[in-house]
Amino acid sequence: MTSIPHITDSHCHLDFPEFAEELPEVVDRAIAAGVTRMVTICTKLKLEPQVRAIAERFAPIFYAAGTHPMSVASEPLVSVEELVSLAKHPKFVGIGETGLDYHYTAESKAVQQESLRIHIEAARQTGLPLIIHARAADDDMVRILTEEHAAGAFSCVMHCFSSSAELAKAALDLGFYLSMSGIAAFPKSQDLRDIFANAPVERILVETDAPYLAPPPYRGKQNEPSYTVHTARVGAGVFGMDYADFAVQTQQNFDRLFTKVASFRQVAA
């Protein structure tokens, strides 16, 4: 019997109410599909306890926390110290998501930038990867990431990447990673697939951003971690690889970036 290739959903939101009634089943479906690890993301620090509880409840689930840029204006400004303290938890594996979103919330761009720099400093101090959300803010994102990286190195993934080739190049030049979501699998996303195709496959992750952005054949429906497989199959095609080989590559990439997850697996084995 051929084993199913293992992959990781590097970004989902399992605390969202869409999953409240069937979270064990969602996790079981993910594992059955070969999605053996998931990182669930806390977008408001006041919700961190419930996100942490999910990671503690399910062995395959890890978590990250930060303040989403679209929530910065309505939430208390997070401190470096808060994030560093949260990072002591053994299943806390990333800082964010943070970033810049001028599509809906351009009026809060100043505080978004301040919050982003705070998260970057926490990533530096903890050694954990920064998880970036970027939308309609490419110029400021390039500028801030470049400035901050010059001031002190940190690791980073551009989650659900769907921005410009210029932002992709800037991120890759800094040693960062790009994550493919269901958007990359949409039929009209050829320009985005071309951006990924020009990136080193060693810097590619896959994710769902569930419950949003389900890839075909589930587009328009509620997304869930098991659907990572469909995006990863498209990713394999983008790089001209067999699915099993692409799965192995993205696992290696994830372990290289999310070192705390890899270490946790070794300890737990």
Q: What digits encode the pLDDT tens for the residues 244-264? A: 999 999 999 999 999 999 888
Q: Quick check: 213 and 223 in contact, CB under 8 A?
A: yes
Residues of the chain with pLDDT under 70: 1-2, 265-269
In this predicted structure, what is the pLDDT of residue 2?
Answer: 62
Q: Which two tokens stand for residue 51?
A: 């996100």
State the sign of the Cα–Cα–Cα–Cα dihedral 80, 81, 83, 87: positive
Q: Determine the CATH number of domain 7-268.
A: 3.20.20.140
Q: Quick check: 95 and 80 in contact, CB under 8 A?
A: no
The SS3 of residue 21 is coil
Among residues 141, 146, 91, 150, the alpha carbon closest in space to that of 116 is found at: 141
The SS3 of residue 221 is coil
State the sign of the Cα–Cα–Cα–Cα dihedral 104, 49, 204, 226: negative
Q: What is the pLDDT of residues 189-223, one digit of tens each?
A: 999 999 999 999 999 999 999 999 999 999 999 99
Domain boundaries, the chain: 7-268
In this predicted structure, what is the pLDDT of residue 267?
Answer: 52
Q: What is the DSSP letter of 67?
A: -
